[in-house]
A and B are shown apart, each in its own frame.
Chain A
Amino acid sequence: MKIRVITILLAIILAAIPYLPVVAEDDGNGTTTITMNTEAVMGVSLDQAEWRVEGEEDVSLNTTYKTDLPASWCTITNTGNTNVTIFIKGDDAKWVSDPSKKWTLSSTGNNGKNIYALWYHIKGDTADSYTLVSKDLASMKWTRDAELLNLAKHSDTQQFGLKLLTPTQFIGGRTMEAQITISAVAA
């Protein structure tokens, strides 16, 4: 009885074999890849234009100050649509009454007489990690992996905060002003 059942099953399978190739080969397709290129416009914006380090108070010698939001004080927004790398550049701080009187921006992170230092911290980077800002234009980087700070498309944002170390010596009573430039370069 079992042999008979197996024989019948085999017979059905063998009978079906001639049709299998037909079923397997009865469709086909061809594909074309269509590409479109988009127009580019470049731009970034900052939502902060000023940092009054101690508000209306004076700063002290050899003291570190951070923006009130250490990691998210300023938001950079890609207002264009180009994948951009963000660059940063600092400057000497100048006495507003006589710009020839300066605090030099440190290139080493060490302060000194009329020498101050400035750093930034990118939101999401290693906690309390800061990167020095110098007078040379430099790409902003994450300390965790040295990756460049990029804003790939329109409305992409990134936040950062600043840290400042005042000189070890300076003449008090002078209002000093420095400018930081954030710029975007096509990646």
Chain B
Amino acid sequence: MKLGIIGILLAGILALIPCLPATAQDSGTITITMTGAKEFSINLTPANWSFGTVSPNTVNTTDLTQFNLTVNPTSTCAVNTYITGENAVWADDPGAYNWTLSSNEQNDIKVYVLWFKLDGEESYIPITKGQTSFYSSTLGPGDSKQFGLKLLTPQPDFTEGATGYFSVGSAIVQTHVTVSAVVA
């Protein structure tokens, strides 16, 4: 009798087996979400530029295509750009002699002025030690902007005859211009 019942149950189970996969095939969905990182890099060239020998209280300019800023094509976002300058220092002894970067476009003794101008733009914009907007709009991957610099040297430290001179002669005075970018 018992064997009979077990046999019927087994037969029932075996009969159901083909139906089980059909029950498990109810669809299931997995949602995968990812946020692409906003990564970028910029490239400013050339890394070095010399105005050559400069006299006191004189304006010196570069070509408007002398410098080039590029947002590297592999970047993943648009950026806002800014430009800053620094005091200029005597390369041999930075603590002994330097020129302060003007904040008001006026030169003075030991105060110099620096401007930049984007190629195709109307006017020069002063560069200060604070951040100044470099390009009024955003720059995307692969975008580039060419620009030039204008330098007004300080007034002379002393005059010999009718000629003005800086306190250090045959000297290299050095500064840095930095263009920075942030995610737009």
**Seed contacts A32-B48, A40-B169, A81-B157; 16 additional CB < 8 Å A-B pairs:** A21-B37, A26-B183, A27-B181, A32-B46, A32-B47, A33-B47, A35-B50, A37-B53, A37-B173, A38-B165, A38-B173, A41-B169, A43-B160, A152-B93, A152-B96, A154-B165
Known contacts A25-B40, A36-B151: A153-B181 contact under CB 8 Å = no
Q: Does B172 have its Cβ within 8 Å of any Cβ on chain A?
A: yes
> A30: CB under 8 A from chain B?
yes
A18 to B33, CA, bound (A): 12
Q: Does A31 contact B (CB under 8 A)?
A: yes
Q: Please report the number of residue pairs spanning A and B whose Cβ atoms sit closer than 8 angstroms.
A: 163
User: Which single residue of chain B is at the shortest CB-CB distance from A78?
Assistant: B167
Interface size class, chain B:
35 or more
B42–A22 CB distance below 8 A: no
Q: Which of A34, A79, A155 contacts B49, CB < 8 Å?
A: A34
Q: A28-B180, A31-B176 are in contact. Are A82 and B169 (CB under 8 A)?
A: yes
Instruction: Report how far A38 CA is from B173 CA in the complex, Å.
Output: 8
B146-183, CB under 8 A of A: which get 1 and which 0?
A: 00010101000110100101111111111111111111
What 0/1 pattern do residues 173 to 187 of A give for CB contact below 8 A with B? 000000000000010
The verdict on B111 contacting chain A, using a C-beta distance below 8 Å, is no
Q: Is B115 an interface residue (CB 8 A)?
A: no
User: Which of A25, A29, A79 interacts with B179 by CB under 8 Å?
Assistant: A29
Instruction: Using CB atoms and an 8 Å cutoff, list the residues of chain A in contact with chain B.
Output: 18, 21-22, 25-43, 79-83, 152-155, 186
Which interface residue of A21, A33, A43, A79 has the most chain B CB atoms within 10 A? A33
Q: Given A29-B178, A81-B167: A36 and B172 within 8 A (CB)?
A: yes
Nearest-neighbour CB distance to chain A for B143, whole angstroms, equals 14
Does the CB pair A41–B176 fall under 8 Å?
no
Bound CA span A7–B50, Å: 59
The contact sample of 18 A-B pairs, CB cut-off 8 A, is A29-B180, A31-B178, A32-B44, A32-B45, A33-B174, A33-B176, A34-B151, A35-B50, A36-B53, A38-B165, A39-B55, A39-B166, A39-B170, A43-B160, A80-B165, A81-B165, A81-B166, A154-B158
The reply to whether the CB of B69 lies closer than 8 angstroms to some CB of chain A is: yes
Contacts of B44 in A (CB 8 A): 29-32
Among residues of A, the one whose C-beta sits closest to the C-beta of B160 is: A41
Contacts of B171 in A (CB 8 A): 37-38, 81, 83, 153
B8 in contact (CB, < 8 A): no
- Given A22-B38, A41-B160, A81-B157, is A34 in contact with B166 using a C-beta cutoff of 8 Å? no
Q: Are A37 and B170 in contact (CB under 8 A)?
A: yes
Knowing A35-B51, A153-B96 touch, does A42 contact B181 (C-beta < 8 A)?
A: no
Give A38 to B175 CA distance when docked, in angstroms: 14
